Amino acid sequence: MSKKSDVWQGTLSLMILRTLQTMGPQHGYGIGRRIETVSEQTLAINYGTIYPSLLKLEQEGFIKSEWGVSDNNRKAKFYAITPAGLRRLSKEIREWDSATKTLARFLAPVKG
């Protein structure tokens, strides 16, 4: 059994926005479970961290929320990405793509 890793600093917001873009409106627990599923259970989602991140994203205008009823018939707050959130997600994806390409050049095998 592999050990779960903590989410890297600065990536949780990106994963939340991508999850909402892909899945549509979700409640906090559903977002956390989706992140764990996509990571193939290699990331450990601390639910004490995801809710403050959701609040911050909402305060910044990148997501919005409304109360609804979950699949198990409980009251839950559902989050959805906003147009500003879509722009932010696009920007962050470009930045991460650039950063990972740069890092890959440093990690490539040394040529002879």
Please report the DSSP string for 90-111 in residue order: HHHHHHHHHHHHHHHHHHSPPP
Q: Cα–Cα distance between 88 and 30 in angstroms, integer?
A: 21
Domain ranges of the chain: 5-106
pLDDT for 7 equals 65
Which pTM does this prediction carry?
0.86
* Segments in the chain below pLDDT 70: 1-9, 112
pLDDT for 1 equals 42
What CATH number should be reported for the domain whose range is 5-106?
A: 1.10.10.10
Q: Cα–Cα distance between 25 and 36 in angstroms, integer?
A: 17
